[in-house]
Structure 1
Amino acid sequence: MWLQRRDPAAAAPWLDGALELSREIGDRHREAQVRRRVAVLHGQRGEPHRTHVELGRAPGILDELAGLHCAAFVQQAIGELFLRQGDAGAASAPLVDAFVVQRRLGGRAAVARVAGLLGELHHAAGRRRTAPRCFHRSLSTCRRLGARDRAELVRARLRSLG
């Protein structure tokens, strides 16, 4: 909740406790998920190096556990991080991987989110035909899910493309 409100100072003690507890009880899956959120925290603090370190730890844990669905979320986070840092080239593979896995597993909300990120990626890379297609995919999925707020964000992004 604190991360969604973009309040990393409030989120930090909760995430520290969650990380400690997940290690204490040996829940590697939960540890990977907490690390993904810790990476978001570092991103909100403007600490890209620490974000990369945390995101780098999570895939190894998930590979060890064969957590394909969760690994896709980590790939999405990695791709989004690179995209926000202006590195569309580095963002491409993790976002495409996340999209393929989420589509195969039927994670419609995740597909909508990653499709929107792919739209941003293609727009940043100057692919003027591909970007709107990705945004339209995101928008149609948001509509099917009844995610009106998310759909409105995607519609606004489409309008900004001109």
Structure 2
Amino acid sequence: MIEQPRWLNDDEQELWQLILAATRKLDRGMENTLQAGGELSMPEFAVLATLSDAEEQQMRLRELCNFLEWDRSRTSHQVTRMERRGLLTKCKSVGDARGVMVQLTEEGSRRLAASAPDHVESVRRLVFDHLKPEDIPSLQRFLQGILDVDNVPGYGEY
């Protein structure tokens, strides 16, 4: 535990509040876009997009948890709901009876494809339409720095 808190100065606090507000706006914008299309929720879109990019459009449940940074319970419940809707399938892993494989179905792929155009348009409007190309490398370094931090109190592997 840290003995002496490293309090944020005024500029850091202002930036932190801006990051929080921007994150909320991004989350709300993405969710609203997907709900307007009526095809998928944001968590469903995240799962389907992840599987879509995976080799053979499948991955182990544990890998999906780690990629999405969700705990196993949340991921398992989400996958079960999506399986009931025909968006994906799950089965035992070949060669590892304890492992569960999750795979995109044709219906899941169809819904992802139907949702993608509006989703990417919202991403473009919220992020890229007002971002200068020369700012991208700095933002990439900043965001990768956040992703690389592994010593946050209470933060662990899923």
- Structure 2 length as normaliser, TM-score? 0.24
Q: Which has the higher strand share?
A: 2
- Structure 1 length as normaliser, TM-score? 0.23
Q: Which has the higher helix share?
A: 1
